[in-house]
Structure 1
């Protein structure tokens, strides 16, 4: 792992701010002194052993984090991480979204949504030398992208010789370094328990990213394997997986000031982005994204109102759009009036001055430092021109394009196929198509596509993508009503809404596609050449950017090392560890001090009986009767619900276990505060707080309200 940490940085890492940093487990020995000083009672060297306790208990859901909490493969994560499976199993007649779900026995546990996976990380290996050998490093443009992709696919193929595993190659520092990550892939995932919607999602979008918070954001899955103990597709004959390690609930109470750490799979941070990228993000891409998402939310609300089946189908879409748009709005608010861009520009100028002040450094880094800005400007110009086209497209057009691409790729040897269309991807592609009916509403889809296409067609004709217009029968200047009429014609002339018809296209030939009269299949065939042209154009540009960007990051690493400063890599969906303390904030965004804990009192105080604040009657009665059981905290005179901690986290950390100094489970991370989401770009240790669900609230809800005694016994919590 020393390849991932330049030698000059090893000493500097030990002086980094304690609350800052999403550390790779392999880096933790370098900060052992800080971990012990902060309060960790566990031997820090155990945290970098991925197959040992506690890291061996932490798993990925492919977008969220979770952890094993029993010897029988029971997995706990956030309610919003299991939301897709809850939604998939819901109908207006059996509304699990609204009422929650509790399996009475193993046989009653429900299959999770198709494509659900539990990934258990078993090995991480540096493969930079294999990916970026001398020949590949000398390439540029599309040739570079293709060469790196080929190296990655070869490494993955070798890693996946045992079909029980899923492997990936992850890039760090802008493609300067690479890791091969090997994960056991558990395919039979079942929903075990989810609280009622207004427990798991109490406060809804109103309270999203807001403190104080009173949300029971937890749910349980179970991992199943075949009779031989190996990963298998769903079968009644499968048995619960027995993990090598699982987390245990805390045996001591959690208090303000206590050490906590979080282990998980944070998605993406942008802290090392160049000033030009920061400026573009906050002046164009994020404002545009917010407008588009808010428009989608408004149109979905209009089209699904009074149609519960449609509301259930699009519940996950609505939750995702609401979460992302509010996050971006929080970032924009924090960015406005700040000096973030000014500081980024100053830092970049310092880097360029340092490089150009030495002939050897100038020869090594100078050309790429000069080139990267013009290349980024080229990519940003394309993004501005094409942003309205990419805002939304009919769902069935995307389905048809994917199916035709699959047919084209099946003509090639597996190793030459595009990522996403190899044999390793076949099951996921099939399951995605199977689940589409449960997450699609034609009326809403047509309304959304009509709106965004009409906006696109209002642009000057010379800026429009003529192959797209021809393939769909659209014309420049068409208004929304005319576009809608055309899309309704296409909808009436396709069979992709029928599951059996849609699935049949997975096995059909390119000739079958070319001969088809299905409206969307024909459109996909007509657009294929144009899609390939755009993909090649983008690859050429990305390859040139990647080469310059990687060397710019190399210069930045060297510059920081020369000053004795650390530069941990941005989050990229790989396993990380953050640590800090349970701590409120003085003052909060409202001018009032933020206490470290909220309690059950806040639920009844916020309850209105409508919208985002409609706590279940059984829960309210238990609170009003002060049925606290053994979960009350004397100093709070109630049961703790959520708590704040100085943990450095981001999206993807949702569902991550929050552990105390002995690596015992004290809660689940599920959110951050709105004024601190800017930390994805610019870390601020004074403001940054993560919002966590207290495990004592989860256990109280399960025992007192939901009567989940079977699970509590399994958790050794009765």
Structure 2
């Protein structure tokens, strides 16, 4: 389950609980979950998980670089997360001469640890409910725009009141689509350094073929360290910084576990849409997701032919390619799962039940038009959703779809500035150019942009007028046009941009061929017509009322909020899938190193393995990390409710000890962001015993092992 990177954010909501469904607020555990969790095997209290006044489990859980989860595992700020979560940083630090992606990396001491340019972790301090304070200020006579302006003003006040003069980051979040509000207080640390990572052939074993599949055999982990100033406060990178002494770190259990054992996950799930209406599901299945899948595949194919031929290009684009490939497969899996399980039909049954309740005399004035308004909105925006996903697919894949527009507008301001202002901003420009162009490979960028434009102009429908004009002039083929554009454009290389900066001209930017293409795409991306705004306004009001009405209709049910990158707890058990002939394990809830070796394909990009790992298997040199039955465990299954953003989350046993790192879900439950399936939903995790085996026996990094609190 790879990190989600989106160009836009959607409001997220929730639904009622089924089986072990639920992404629960930590502040509500005592009231809603503690008794049930203890009945199932939790040995801790809610206070030991979440406390404001004392150290607790929550103090060891961090959001990793804004998109994943990680956990503190030592008293010296050591952090574990997934390999794919650290992938950007590992790729950034890699060169053809020191290829840490391919070969791995293990620091023997603090001085060898490597600092990426930008990497941070976020600690959760506390949260509180401000629903009444905010909603008392709004009423149903306001337009959505007026309503949001009032809410935003109050949010700004709440955030300022709680940030303690900038010491903390405060974020007020909407839940149940604007029916509840909570604020969250965080502290960010930005000096985070790479300590260890296995080679790709372990950390990414199985590649795109195994992604979202079970059985899995992936050592998906990497290790970092958080640094602070000498007083333990956040500080920019400095050689004088010291390893953070955290409030709490997780003990690690190598005792093993069995089918049915209690387990829980704390993390930062990114987004679910459990309230999504039936018409929204249909829009995704028939319009949005097919366009997303097709645009992603076109970008991947154009990138891969260059990456396969040049190791430096492969390193520089590996992270971007991996993100695109992850969601290419995810969205196709969503189409298949939502269709196969008839999710829209299930949602319509709930909506029909709501409609009957809403049209009763006592409810009709407030809720009677909710479902018709929602359905009208989706019918009117289906084709736009298709177009937008072709366009967004291009923006994800093609750097030069957006870069000339954003950089060009900044350059126009530079050109129009006086000499003193230019001198002031020039160093920032030069640094930005270096960062932007340092690892770009222009032949790849030409192919990605031209192939995406071919697809966009052929399939997206109501496309940007200037792109339509170019398509007509070039018979829908953009390759030659884009090659010429790059040759002429000031954005075609860092050297051309440096020459432009020496003699800037706003007119030259406006007449630049790549700027004109990028400007047309970005103007279309941001296009908002008045009728569209009215549709959106009506839909948001109806959607909020639908959720409010549903909660009112079922007041005794136990609810949890939809994921929106805030810290949650989900719990369940170690739980197998039906027996699978592809898995050598006795119970289909774990995989073994034997199964890993069975998949080995020498020199294959996805299924190659390091020679040393094979030797360790052949000699059964597993150290103290083998299961009591003699095998080396690799991955395992549990049934918690997770989604993107939970990557790297700690899987904990009933004692709060670390037993694994969550990294994926199973493709059979790919509809899980929209509807939870208690029979199919599984979390795939790397067993902590495999993690320690790789660190100790494979890498020989005993300095890392010696830092950990290991429970045998």
Same-fold status (TM-score > 0.5): yes
1:226/1:457 CA distance change after superposition, 3 Å: same
- Does the CA-based 8 Å contact 1:175-1:546 persist in structure 2? no
1:110 has 2:114 as partner: yes
Counterpart in the other structure of 2:560: 568
Counterpart in the other structure of 2:297: 294
Q: How big is the shift at 1:397?
A: 4.2
- Does the CA-based 8 Å contact 1:454-1:477 persist in structure 2? no
Q: How big is the shift at 1:567?
A: 3.1
Q: How big is the shift at 1:333?
A: 2.7
1:350/1:516 CA distance change after superposition, 3 Å: closer
Return the alpha-carbon distance in structure 2 between the equivalents of residues 644 and 687 of structure 1. Answer: 11
1:338-417 map, 5 Å: 338-357=341-360, 359-393=361-395, 394-403=398-407
Summarize deviations over 1:561-613 as a string: whole Å, max 9, x none: 2xx33332221111111111112122459899852222221122211212311
The SS at the match of 1:654 is: coil
Return the alpha-carbon distance in structure 2 between the equivalents of residues 624 and 631 of structure 1. Answer: 16
Q: How big is the shift at 1:192?
A: 0.9
1:598/1:554 CA distance change after superposition, 3 Å: same
- Does the CA-based 8 Å contact 2:648-2:662 persist in structure 1? yes
- Of the candidates 673, 677, 680, which is equivalent to residue 670 of structure 2? 677
Counterpart in the other structure of 1:266: 269
Q: How big is the shift at 1:547?
A: 1.8
Counterpart in the other structure of 1:100: 104
Counterpart in the other structure of 2:26: 25
- Does the CA-based 8 Å contact 1:141-1:542 persist in structure 2? no
- Does the CA-based 8 Å contact 2:299-2:451 persist in structure 1? no
1:646 has 2:627 as partner: no
- Does the CA-based 8 Å contact 2:43-2:654 persist in structure 1? yes
Q: How big is the shift at 1:108?
A: 1.3
1:584/1:400 CA distance change after superposition, 3 Å: same
Summarize deviations over 1:338-362 as a string: whole Å, max 9, x none: 33222211110100101112x2321
- Of the candidates 683, 687, 704, which is equivalent to residue 680 of structure 2? 687
Return the alpha-carbon distance in structure 1 between the equivalents of residues 615 and 459 of structure 2. Answer: 58
1:409/1:331 CA distance change after superposition, 3 Å: farther
1:63 has 2:57 as partner: no
Summarize deviations over 1:603-651 as a string: whole Å, max 9, x none: 222112123111100111011011111112232x222111111211111
Q: How big is the shift at 1:502?
A: 7.1
Return the alpha-carbon distance in structure 1 between the equivalents of residues 63 and 526 of structure 2. Answer: 33
- Does the CA-based 8 Å contact 2:626-2:633 persist in structure 1? yes
- Does the CA-based 8 Å contact 1:582-1:644 persist in structure 2? yes
The SS at the match of 1:669 is: strand
Deviates more, 1:441-450 or 1:641-650: 441-450
1:80 has 2:81 as partner: no
The SS at the match of 1:693 is: strand
Return the alpha-carbon distance in structure 1 between the equivalents of residues 265 and 432 of structure 2. Answer: 31
Return the alpha-carbon distance in structure 2 between the equivalents of residues 589 and 150 of structure 1. Answer: 59
Counterpart in the other structure of 1:548: 542
1:603/1:382 CA distance change after superposition, 3 Å: closer
Summarize deviations over 1:241-292 as a string: whole Å, max 9, x none: 2211111112643233221100001111122111111111112212222222
- In the superposition, the TM-score normalised over structure 1's length comes to 0.86
Counterpart in the other structure of 2:177: 174
Return the alpha-carbon distance in structure 1 between the equivalents of residues 374 and 286 of structure 2. Answer: 20
Counterpart in the other structure of 1:284: 287
Counterpart in the other structure of 2:3: none
1:531/1:261 CA distance change after superposition, 3 Å: closer
- Of the candidates 311, 315, 319, which is equivalent to residue 322 of structure 2? 319
1:313/1:328 CA distance change after superposition, 3 Å: same
Return the alpha-carbon distance in structure 2 between the equivalents of residues 157 and 489 of structure 1. Answer: 51
1:603/1:63 CA distance change after superposition, 3 Å: same
1:516/1:280 CA distance change after superposition, 3 Å: closer
Deviates more, 1:265-274 or 1:248-257: 248-257
- In the superposition, the TM-score normalised over structure 2's length comes to 0.87
- Does the CA-based 8 Å contact 1:588-1:594 persist in structure 2? no
Summarize deviations over 1:673-709 as a string: whole Å, max 9, x none: 1112222222111111111111111111111110011
1:256 has 2:259 as partner: yes
Counterpart in the other structure of 2:465: 466
Q: How big is the shift at 1:294?
A: 2.1
- Does the CA-based 8 Å contact 1:458-1:477 persist in structure 2? no
Counterpart in the other structure of 1:443: 443
- Of the candidates 559, 570, 573, which is equivalent to residue 553 of structure 2? 559
Summarize deviations over 1:495-519 as a string: whole Å, max 9, x none: 446669879999x99x958877655
Summarize deviations over 1:112-158 as a string: whole Å, max 9, x none: 2x332201111222233454444475432544455544544554455
Deviates more, 1:253-262 or 1:193-202: 253-262
1:551/1:63 CA distance change after superposition, 3 Å: same
1:135/1:32 CA distance change after superposition, 3 Å: closer
- Does the CA-based 8 Å contact 2:254-2:710 persist in structure 1? no
1:534 has 2:528 as partner: yes
Counterpart in the other structure of 2:619: 625
The SS at the match of 1:643 is: strand
Return the alpha-carbon distance in structure 2 between the equivalents of residues 451 and 258 of structure 1. Answer: 50
- Does the CA-based 8 Å contact 2:44-2:656 persist in structure 1? yes
1:293/1:464 CA distance change after superposition, 3 Å: closer
Return the alpha-carbon distance in structure 1 between the equivalents of residues 232 and 635 of structure 2. Answer: 37
Counterpart in the other structure of 1:424: none
Q: How big is the shift at 1:64?
A: 0.6
Return the alpha-carbon distance in structure 2 between the equivalents of residues 340 and 527 of structure 1. Answer: 34
Return the alpha-carbon distance in structure 2 between the equivalents of residues 373 and 447 of structure 1. Answer: 40
Counterpart in the other structure of 1:52: 55
Q: How big is the shift at 1:86?
A: 0.8
1:488 has 2:483 as partner: yes
Deviates more, 1:546-555 or 1:484-493: 484-493
- Does the CA-based 8 Å contact 2:490-2:500 persist in structure 1? no
Return the alpha-carbon distance in structure 1 between the equivalents of residues 647 and 459 of structure 2. Answer: 40
Return the alpha-carbon distance in structure 2 between the equivalents of residues 501 and 567 of structure 1. Answer: 57
Return the alpha-carbon distance in structure 2 between the equivalents of residues 308 and 22 of structure 1. Answer: 41
Counterpart in the other structure of 1:417: none
1:60/1:664 CA distance change after superposition, 3 Å: same
Counterpart in the other structure of 1:478: 474
Q: How big is the shift at 1:539?
A: 5.3
- Does the CA-based 8 Å contact 2:580-2:588 persist in structure 1? no
Task: Give RMSD over aligned pairs.
Answer: 3.5
- Of the candidates 670, 681, 697, which is equivalent to residue 704 of structure 1? 697
Return the alpha-carbon distance in structure 1 between the equivalents of residues 215 and 520 of structure 2. Answer: 53
Return the alpha-carbon distance in structure 2 between the equivalents of residues 106 and 580 of structure 1. Answer: 38
Summarize deviations over 1:155-174 as a string: whole Å, max 9, x none: 44555564443333322112
Counterpart in the other structure of 1:416: none
- Aligned residue pair count: 680
- Does the CA-based 8 Å contact 1:142-1:541 persist in structure 2? no
The SS at the match of 1:67 is: strand
Counterpart in the other structure of 1:5: none
Return the alpha-carbon distance in structure 1 between the equivalents of residues 594 and 239 of structure 2. Answer: 44
1:517/1:332 CA distance change after superposition, 3 Å: closer
- Of the candidates 205, 210, 213, which is equivalent to residue 207 of structure 1? 210
Counterpart in the other structure of 2:5: none
1:355/1:395 CA distance change after superposition, 3 Å: same
